[in-house]
Amino acid sequence: MSKQRSDRPEIKPFAGPAGGWGSIRSLAEILPRERVTPDALVQLARQNKPEGFMCTSCAWPKPADHHPAEFCEEGAKATAWELTTLRTTPEFFEQHTLTELRDWKDYDLEQHGRLTHPLRYDAASDKYAACGWEEAFDAIGAALRPLDPKSVAFYSSGRTGLEASYMYGLMARMFGNQNLPDSSNMCHESTSVGLKAAIGVPVGTTRLADFQACDAIFFFGQNVGSNAPRMLHDLRSARKRGVEIITFNPLKERGLERFTNPQNPIEMLTGGETQISTQYHQVKAGGDIAAMLGIAKFLIEWDDAALTAGDPPVLDHEFIAQHTKDFDAFAEATRAAEWADIEHESGLAQSALEQAARVYARSKAVLAIYGMGLTQHVKGVENVRMVVNLLLLRGNIGKPGAGPTPVRGHSNVQGQRTVGITEKTELVPVDKLKELYGFDPPTEKGLDTVETCSGVIDGSVKAVIGLGGNFLRAVPETAAMEEAWPRLDLSVQIATKLNRNHLFAGKVTYLLPCLGRIEEDVQASGPQAVSTEDSTSCIHGSRGKSKPASPHLLSEPRIVAEIAKRILPPNPRVDWDGWVADYARIRDAIEATYPAIFKDYNKRLFTPGGFWKGNKAAERIWLTPSGRAEFLAPSCLSATGFSDAEGRFRLMTLRSNDQFNTTIYGYHDRFRGVKGTRDVLLINREDMAATGVSEGQIVALESDAGDGKLRRRDGLIVTPYDIPRGCLGAYYPEANVLIPVEHHAEQSHVPAAKSVPVRIRV
Ligand SMILES: Nc1nc2c(c(=O)[nH]1)N[C@H]1C(S)=C(S)[C@@H](COP(=O)(O)OP(=O)(O)OC[C@H]3O[C@@H](n4cnc5c(=O)[nH]c(N)nc54)[C@H](O)[C@@H]3O)O[C@H]1N2
Ligand SMILES: Nc1nc2c(c(=O)[nH]1)N[C@H]1C(S)=C(S)[C@@H](COP(=O)(O)OP(=O)(O)OC[C@H]3O[C@@H](n4cnc5c(=O)[nH]c(N)nc54)[C@H](O)[C@@H]3O)O[C@H]1N2
Ligand SMILES: [Mo]
C-alpha cells in the first residue's frame, strides 16, 4: 500500500529556495497520483478569484488584483486532493474491517479517495455498510433526543463555510448546549483570548495593503513556505522595497530564508531568488517571551537614556499616554529582567537581540506576524500579549503598515467564530437569537476541545458529532482518546475522505459523506455559493463548479438541517428547508443576527478581495474594560510551563511541507530534506553526543509530564538537524500520543504542542 514510503528514507539538506522548480515538480507528482481529470486544471484557474472558489487550504487573504494563477503548491495539492477521481466505495468497506484499517497509515486511508455513500457501522462484522440518508438521519435523531444536551459535543474543523457553520451553532444552542469545540481551540485560541484582552478584538488588525506600508516585519513561529505560501509574494514585494524581515524560529525554515516566485518566468529561468529574512534568530522553543522582553529592554533603556540626554525619544510616549494602560508596570518589569536570564531562556545572545531591537527602533511601521510557534505553549496567551507589548511601545497598532498579524489555519476557521461556533456566551448575540428565533439560548459556557477530550475520557461526553476534521487524530492524548471513544453512545462524522477518527466507532456510528467546496452544489433554487472569512477579516463568496464525486453526496447545510429537524421541535421561525433551498436566505439570517458585520451580505458576496468586516482596534478604539490597549508584564520568561531537568527535552510537533494537518499528501518534506518517512526525530548533534545516540538509530520518546501515566512513541529515526540544544522536532499528528490532555495553554486551552516535555529512550 504505502507506495510513497520507502524502506531506506533519504535525509539530506535541501539546497533550493521555497517556490521555484521544486514546487512545480511537486505538483507534477501529485496531479497524476490523484488521477485528476482535465477539469482540475480548469478549476485551478478559478481558485481564489472573484466568482471562483476559495482555496480549501490556508486562510491567507485573496487579493482583489489577483495573479493569473492565484494558487500555490499547497493550494493546488488541496484542490487535487478534493478533485481526485479515486473513490472509497461501499465495496472497499466490504473488504476491510475497522480493526484492520487501524493498522493503516493516515496517508493510505485518504489515498483511496473520496467517500461516496452514507455509511453505518455494523459491530457484528466490524465493517461500515452503505445505508440510506433517511435511515441515517432518523437513527442519529433517535440516539440524540434522549441524551442530556450537556453530554453532546458538536465539533467543527475550520473548513466548513459560514452558512453551514451558522446553522450548526444555532442547532447546538436550540438543542440546549454550547458544546462547540472547534479546530480553533487547538490553534489560534491563544490569539482570540490574548488579543481580546489586550486590544479588545480577538483577531489581527492588519490587511494586505499593510504589506505595502510597513518598513519592518517581525516574524515569530510561522512556517510560511509550507503553511501559507501565497504570503511569500507579499513578503517578496516587501523585501523588494527594502523592508527588513526579522525572524524568530528554532528551525531555519526555507520559506523564511529565500523564495523563487514560480509565477515569474525570469526568476525561474535565471535561478533568481529573493532573500526573505534579513535577520534569523534561532530562538529556543518556548523562548519568545524572553526574546521579545530583551528587545523591549533595549528600547526602554535607549529611551531612558534619550530622555536624560534630551534626545528624541525612542518610544511613542504620546501614543502610550493617550491609548494604553499599565505601561509603567511593564517598563518596570522589563528594566528588572536580567540579561543572563533573557539569554538563557531565549537561547539568543544579547547582541543578537540588540540587532533586532535596532531595526525595531528605527522602523516607523512594523507588522508582527505569528503562528503556532507562539500559540501552542502553556504560556501561549502571554506570548501573544508580548507581541502586543512590543507593538504598543512604538504605537504600532492602528496605523498603516503596522499591527499584529496572526496567520490563521483553516480557510474559514476565523469565520466560524464570527457566526457562533464558540463555547463562550460573551461571543454570541444571545438577545438577537432570542428575538429572531423565540428561544432561550443557553448561557452556561460550553465545552472546548480540551474539555471535550476530558469528557470523552471520563465518560461525561456521550455523543460527538464532527462537522469535518479528524478530531480523534488532531487532539492530544490520542491513546486514551482512542481507548475511550467506543464508549460513546453516538459518533457521527461528516467528511469527504476516510480518516483515523472514522475507524473508532461508538455504540451508534455513522459516516456521512459531503460535498467539498470546489464541487457544484445545486439546491431547489439552483446552484449555490458559500462564503468564508480570511485571516484579515475579509469575507469572500465561493462557488463550486466541479461535478460532485458521487451522486449520493449531500451538502453540509443540508446535512446539518436534516439533523436539526430530527432533534428539535418544529419552530416556524427557523425554516431549515427554506434555508437549504436557497443559501442566500441563510445569509439573510446571518445578516439579521450580525447586522453590523454582514450588512448587504448577499450583495457584497463577490466583492473582489472580499468585503472587510471592520476592526475597532485598527481604528484605535479599544473595546477592553479600561477602554485602552493594555500592556501586560509577563509572569515568567519561558513559555513552556515546565522547568528544565537533566535528560528532559522540549518537543516541537511540526507539519511537513507535504501535509495539511492530519491529511498526509506524501512523504517528502522537501524543505527539510526528509524523504520517504515521517518517523524522524530532529535533534542537535551535540545533544546526540550527550545522550549517546547516533544518526539513524531508532529510539522512542516518552513524555515526561510527571502524572504517572506512560505515554510513548516508538520507532523514531535519530536525525541530526540544525535545531537549538534542548529542543527536539517530530511530526504531528503521529507525535500527539505524547501530549497529555492537561498540557495546554493556561487561559486558552490550546494544547501545548510546541513544547512537550519528553525524554529519549533507547
Ligand atoms: N500546507 C499546509 N498549510 C497549512 C496547514 C498544513 O498542515 N499544511 N495547516 C493549516 C493550519 S490549521 C494552521 S494552524 C497553520 C499552521 O501553520 P504554522 O503556524 O506555520 O504551524 P506549524 O507548521 O505547526 O509550525 C510553526 C512554526 O513554528 C516554529 N516553532 C515551534 N516552536 C516555536 C517557538 O517556541 N517559538 C518560535 N518562534 N517558533 C516556534 C516551528 O519551527 C515552525 O516553523 O497552517 C495552515 N496551513
Ligand atoms: N501535535 C499537534 N497537534 C495539533 C497541531 C499541531 O501543530 N501539533 N495543530 C492543531 C491545529 S492548528 C489544528 S487546526 C487541528 C486540525 O484538526 P482538524 O481540523 O480536525 O483536522 P484536519 O486534518 O484538518 O481534518 C481533515 C479531515 O477533514 C475532512 N474534510 C476535508 N474537507 C472537508 C470538507 O469540505 N467538509 C467536511 N465535512 N470534511 C472535510 C476530511 O475527511 C479529512 O480527513 O490539529 C491540531 N493538532
Ligand atoms: Mo490550525
Phi–psi pair at 114, nearest 5 degrees: -75, 145
The Cβ-side half-sphere exposure at 159, using a 13 Å CA radius, reads 24
**Residue 61: is the preceding peptide bond cis (ω within 30°)?**
no
Side chain identity at residue 242, one-letter code: G
Instruction: Confirm if 238 and 1 have CB atoms less than 8 A apart.
Output: no
Looking at the CA of 754, name the nearest ligand.
1
Our CA angle for 130, 136, 142, nearest 5°, is 145
| Spans of the chain, pLDDT less than 50 | 1-2
Pick from 670, 517, 200, 601: nearest CA to 388: 200
Residue 370 Cβ inside 6 Å of ligand 1? The answer reads: no
Pairwise CA distance, residues 88 & 549, whole Å:
10
pLDDT (0 to 100) of residue 255: 87
What is the pTM assigned to this prediction? 0.97
Interhelix angle 133-144/556-567, rounded to 10 degrees, is: 50
Predicted local distance difference test score (pLDDT) of residue 274: 85
- Judge contact between 156 and 469, C-beta under 8 A: yes
Residue 146: count other Cβ atoms within 10 Å of its Cβ: 7
Dist. CA 183 → ligand 2 center (Å): 7
- Rounded to the nearest 10 degrees, what angle do helices 162-175 and 556-567 cross at? 10
The pLDDT of residue 264: 80
Q: Which of 563, 551, 541 is nearest to 515 (CA)?
A: 551
- Whether ligand 1 lies within 6 angstroms of the CB of 73 is answered as no
Q: Is 29 exposed, middle or buried (0-12, 13-18, 19+ CB in 10 A)?
A: middle
For the Cβ of 756 lying below 6 angstroms from any atom of ligand 1, the answer is no
User: Strand ranges (DSSP E) for 95-243?
Assistant: 114-115, 119-122, 127-130, 152-156, 216-220
Task: State pLDDT tens for residues 313-364.
Answer: 999 999 999 999 999 999 999 999 999 999 999 999 999 999 999 999 999 9
Q: How many residues does the chain have?
A: 762
CA–CA distance, 226 with 668 (Å, rounded to integer): 12
Q: Ligand 1 in contact with 220 (CB < 6 A)? A: yes
3-class SS at 725? coil
Nearest ligand, measured from the Cα of 281: 1
Please state, in angstroms and rounded to a whole number, the distance separating the CA atoms of residues 522 and 533: 22
Mutual orientation of helices 288-309 and 339-346 as an angle, nearest 10°?
150
Question: Does ligand 1 have an atom closer than 6 angstroms to the CB of 221?
Answer: yes
| Cβ(761)–Cβ(700) below 8 Å | yes
- Residue 323 makes CB contacts below 8 A (sequence gap 6+) with 392, 395, 620, 622, 628, 629
How far, in Å, CA of 184 to CA of 413, rounded?
A: 6
Beta strands per DSSP E along 518-642? 522-523, 526-527, 530-533, 538-542, 611-612, 629-630
Count Cβ atoms within 10 A of the Cβ of residue 723 and give its class: 0-12 exposed, 13-18 middle, 19 or more buried. buried
pLDDT value for 3: 53
635 phi-psi bin (left φ>0, alpha ψ -120 to 50, beta other): alpha
- What sign results for the dihedral spanned by CA atoms 671, 676, 678, 684? negative
pLDDT confidence of residue 735 = 98
Q: Which residue has the cell 462537522?
A: 467
CA dihedral in degrees (185, 186, 192, 198; nearest 10)? 130
8 C-alpha vs ligand 3 centroid, how far in Å? Answer: 31
Beta bridge partners, 463, equal 152, 490
739 lines ligand 1 (CB under 6 A): no
Cβ(256)–Cβ(223) below 8 Å: yes
pLDDT of residue 333: 97
Is residue 722 within 8 Å of 706, Cβ to Cβ? no
Instruction: Report yes or no: 313 and 276 within 8 Å, Cβ to Cβ.
Output: no
**Contact call for residues 666 and 724 (beta carbons, < 8 A):** no
Among candidates 278, 308, 285, 163, which has minimal Cα distance to 218? 278
Which of 26, 58, 72, 670 for mutating ligand 1's site (highest number of atoms within 8 Å of CB)? 58
- Cα-to-centroid distance, 416 and ligand 3 (Å): 13
70 lines ligand 1 (CB under 6 A): no
Cβ atoms of 748 and 194 within 8 Å: the answer is: yes
**Calpha distance 183→156 (Å, rounded):** 7
The residue nearest atom 17 of ligand 1, judged by CA position, is: 227
The SS3 of residue 34 is coil
At a CB cut-off of 8 Å and minimum separation 6, what does 606 contact?
Answer: 50, 51, 529, 540, 541
CA angle (655, 656, 659) in 5-degree steps? 85
Q: How far is CA 642 from CA 221, 285, 669, in A?
A: 20, 12, 30
pLDDT given for residue 260 in this prediction: 83
Is the Cβ–Cβ distance between 717 and 698 less than 8 Å? yes
Angle (CA) 138-139-145 rounded to 5° is 85
Farthest CA pair distance, the chain: 83
Tell me if residue 178 falls in helix, strand or coil. Answer: coil
Cβ pair 257, 672 in contact under 8 A: no
Distances (CA, A) of 389 to 341, 404, 520: 19, 11, 46
Judged on CB neighbours under 10 Å (0-12, 13-18, 19+), 607 is middle
Residue 48 CB burial class (10 angstroms; 0-12, 13-18, ≥19) = buried
Which ligand gives the minimal distance to the CA of 183? 2
Q: Which of 288, 655, 721, 722 to mutate to test the pocket of ligand 1 (most atoms within 8 A of CB)?
A: 655
| Nearest CA residue ID for atom 21, ligand 1 | 372
Helices (H), 516-595: 556-567, 576-581, 583-593
pLDDT value at residue 72: 86
Chain centre distance of CA 13: 27
Distance CA 343, CA 291 (A): 8
Taking the CA atoms of the chain, what radius of gyration do you get in angstroms? 25
User: What does the pLDDT read at residue 343?
Assistant: 98
Tell me if 288 CB under 6 Å of ligand 1: yes
Residue 761: which residues within 8 A CB-CB, separation 6 or more?
699, 700, 701, 702, 712
- Estimate the crossing angle of helix 430-437 against helix 583-593, to 10 degrees: 130
Atom 22, ligand 2: residue with shortest CA distance:
469
d(CA 206, ligand 1 centre) in Å: 20
